[in-house]
Amino acid sequence: MSLDFLAELGWRGLIQDQSEGLAARLARGSISAYNGFDPSGSSLHVGNLIPIFGLVHLQRAGGRPVALVGGGTGMIGDPSGKSAERNLLDEETLSRNVAAIREQLGRFLDFSLGPTGAVLLDNREWLGRWGLLEYLRDVGKHFTLSYMLAKESVQLRMAAGISFTEFSYMTLQAADFLHLYREHGVEMQLGGADQWGNITAGLELIRRCEEPSADGEPLAYGLSYPLLLSPSGEKFGKTDKGSVFLDPAMTSPYAFYQYFVNRYDAEVGTLLRRLTLLGSEEIRELELAQAARPEERPAQQALAFDITARVHGQEVAEQQARVARAAFSGQPIDDPEVLEQLYANLDRFDFGEEDVRGGALRLGVASGLYASNSEARRAIQQGGFSINDRRIAALDEAVPEPIAGRYLVLRAGRRKLRIGRRR
């Protein structure tokens, strides 16, 4: 392979487990590897970025990435990392979700023709053709109950109960690996640490079904990534409002950008290594800048910009960077496009002519910036209230002219603000 794939993953902290003989196999030449993606939702989320970047690094190293969308297994659901069985999805919903995921993966991987061109497959194409008897004969007979019950994903669900449907999931994922090995020359499966049991099940099925190699080397290989957790131990990509999605209709570009800007200092170096293609020296410089100027969050800003540009495009990333600077730098805001973004995503209010005529103090309360007239009076007397970046100095001061005839920016100090838009 043109680059050392394992070395690249290693310094980025992207290796949890790897099967025997993988380094020797990669030294012999390029390899095709796959990672599965769950189509139970209509969008990928930031928790999927680790496996996506695994495929990106593989392609950059001269390997061929295969993205497998589980349109067939998605109708069952993987118990790995789950505490309860999911609702089964109908075929129409699955088809819609698969199409959306295809589009999102295209922002990261090069699907053009050629030896390293990425391939996207849907396991409905083969699982959907199998009958029960064929499955039991060709796959089921190779798995003993003791082997399956020993898997951690099964053990964790035994107390609460696990259906046969989910119990059989690992055998179907193993069958995927066997099919891809035979029909597409795929020799390696990639996945998160919680998928290691399913990955090794696939290796075992291939070993049992195929003739051994002449040199005694393994026929297929597996590699898992560490799970990405926040410093508090929470699963990466989750907020109090749910997952952070790649689809802008489900998570706005503003919320997406801010999610990464607000990462802890303790985790931003890890995220830069695992979720960007920045080099080690550039990341080190950002870490040093972060240590020197933590209040400016240079490492988080670089992380947010890089990922937003890849997911939503360069123009959107530049816009969100301007919005972030406008909202939190305390600098004057006069760009109507930025103001509209702030209105859509921050605390906001609508105003009419009667609100403008009522004066600045009254507007400060009506907007929700201040809880009462007395609080607004104190802020004015202390010089802490501004409208459109003009300090309000008098209790009876008039409201300034709206920006672009439409927007008012109310600030209490530097950080607390409300964006008003004319009705």
Cβ contact 256:241 at 8 Å: no
User: Which positions of the chain have pLDDT values less than 50?
Assistant: 83-84
DSSP assignment of 211-251 equals PPPTT---S-EEEEEPPPB-TTSPBTTEETTEE-BSSTTTS
The token duo for 6 is: 């394992």
Q: Specify the pLDDT at position 151.
A: 76
The CA R_g of the chain, rounded to the nearest whole Å, is 27
As annotated, the residues of the chain forming the CATH 3.40.50.620 domain(s) are 5-225
What's the confidence (pLDDT) of residue 141?
Answer: 85
Q: Do the Cβ atoms of 290 and 264 come closer than 8 Å? A: no
Distance CA 112, CA 213 (A): 32
DSSP 359: -
Name residue 35's beta-bridge partners.
67, 190
Class of residue 240 by CB neighbours under 10 A (exposed 0-12, middle 13-18, buried 19+): exposed
Which residue intervals of the chain bear CATH 3.10.290.10?
344-422
What's the confidence (pLDDT) of residue 352? 95
Which sign, positive or negative, has the C-alpha torsion 396, 397, 403, 408?
negative
Burial of 234 (0-12, 13-18, 19+ CB in 10 A): exposed
Q: Which residues, in sequence order, are bridge partners of residue 67?
A: 35, 120
Instruction: Output the pLDDT for position 358.
Output: 94
pLDDT attached to residue 78: 57
Instruction: Annotate 39-85 with DSSP letters as a single string.
Output: -SSSS-BGGGHHHHHHHHHHHHTT-EEEEEE-TTGGGT---TT-SSP
Please report, to the nearest 10 degrees, the dihedral formed by the alpha carbons of residues 269, 272, 278, 280 taken in order.
20
Give Cβ neighbours of residue 293 (< 8 Å, ≥ 6 apart).
Answer: none
Fold held by 344-422: 3.10.290
The predicted pLDDT at position 83 comes to 47
Domain 5-225 has CATH 3.40.50.620: yes
What the block records as the tokens of 36 is: 């599965």
State residue 240's pLDDT score. 66
Question: What is the fold, at CATH topology level, of the domain defined by 252-329?
Answer: Tyrosyl-Transfer RNA Synthetase (1.10.240)
Report the run of H or E that residue 409 belongs to, with start and end. strand 407-412
Give the tens place of pLDDT for each residue, 203-260: 999 999 999 998 889 999 999 999 988 777 777 877 767 889 999 999 999 999 999 9
Domain(s) labelled CATH 1.10.240.10 in the chain stretch across 252-329
